[in-house]
């Protein structure tokens, strides 16, 4: 059995918030074909996602701004920068940079995958999302990545059901009805997840946020 970064989740333990790549023990089998990702999974644009600004080059730390509180009954997705790369396909392994914000307060929750930055929140290699095995991945991430092309930057305004649920989260200062604003840079997509050596997920934050 091999392990590779498969799921994106957010753990909060003793006030420590971290977006992490969870090492899932699973086999890496190449996809026979690549077909377009199902349009039904793609969130649609709306007034809330259209109100998010995130200037800057794709792959760099976004300067995100929006008027608070920002709310949406259903999860919305707006393409801020349209990439010219290949379309994301069903079963792809996608590498992203991702930043999370509290839609009520505008506060930055966390960010990963934008490379070296001025803040520790913005450092790190791209985050992996495995569309072939999406169980455990935040639905808002899936609905943002689906229908995208490589090189795109998208804004997602997630309702609680597509983020971390309707329970209050004191560590994140999230109320049960708060929306979460997510900016996603789609950096790469491939048919087969990269194979890594078997490494246990030692020290990974608690990802049980239900």
| Pair 90, 35: CB distance under 8 Å | yes
Q: Report pLDDT for 9.
A: 57
* Average pLDDT score over residue span 129-157: 93
pLDDT in tens, 84-131: 999 999 889 999 999 999 999 999 999 999 887 655 566 688 999 998
| Pair 210, 136: CB distance under 8 Å | no
CATH top-level class of 2-190: alpha beta
> Partners of 169 in the beta sheet?
174
List, in order, residues 6 or more apart from 104 with CB less than 8 Å away.
68, 69, 70, 174, 175, 178, 179
* Average pLDDT score over residue span 73-91: 96
* Average pLDDT score over residue span 196-210: 45
Establish whether the linkage from the previous residue to 25 is cis, with ω within 30° of 0: no
How would you classify residue 15: left for phi > 0, otherwise alpha for psi between -120 and 50, otherwise beta?
Answer: left
Q: What stretch of H or E contains 141?
A: helix 139-145
d(CA 135, CA 126): 20
For the chain, the domains span 2-190
Under DSSP, is residue 140 helix (H, G, I), strand (E, B) or coil?
A: helix
pLDDT in tens, 149-201: 999 999 999 999 999 888 888 888 899 999 999 999 999 999 865 655 444 44
Average pLDDT of the residues of the chain: 77
pLDDT in tens, 27-66: 223 333 444 444 447 899 999 999 999 999 999 999 999 9
Q: Report pLDDT for 5.
A: 32
Q: What stretch of H or E contains 180?
A: strand 180-190
Q: Is the pTM of this model over 0.85?
A: no
Q: Report pLDDT for 132.
A: 85
């Amino acid at each position: 059995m091999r392990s590779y970064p498969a799921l994106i989740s957010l753990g909060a333990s003793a006030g420590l918030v971290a977006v992490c790549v969870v090492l899932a023990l699973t086999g890496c089998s190449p996809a026979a074909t690549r077909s377009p990702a199902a349009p039904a999974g793609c969130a649609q644009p709306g007034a809330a996602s259209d109100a998010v600004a995130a200037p800057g080059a794709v792959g760099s730390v976004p300067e995100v701004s929006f008027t608070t509180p920002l709310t949406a009954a259903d999860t919305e997705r707006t393409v801020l920068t349209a990439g010219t790369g290949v379309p994301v396909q069903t079963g792809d392994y996608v590498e992203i940079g991702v930043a999370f914000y509290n839609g009520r307060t505008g506060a930055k929750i966390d960010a990963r995958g934008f490379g070296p930055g001025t803040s520790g929140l913005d450092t790190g290699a791209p985050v992996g999302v495995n569309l072939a095995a999406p169980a455990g991945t935040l639905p808002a991430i899936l609905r943002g990545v689906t229908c995208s092309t490589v090189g795109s930057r998208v804004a997602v305004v997630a309702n609680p059901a597509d983020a971390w649920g309707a329970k209050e989260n004191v560590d994140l200062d999230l109320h049960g009805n708060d929306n979460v604003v997510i900016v996603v840079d789609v950096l790469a997509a491939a048919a087969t997840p990269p194979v890594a050596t078997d490494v246990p997920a030692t020290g990974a934050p608690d990802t049980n946020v239900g």
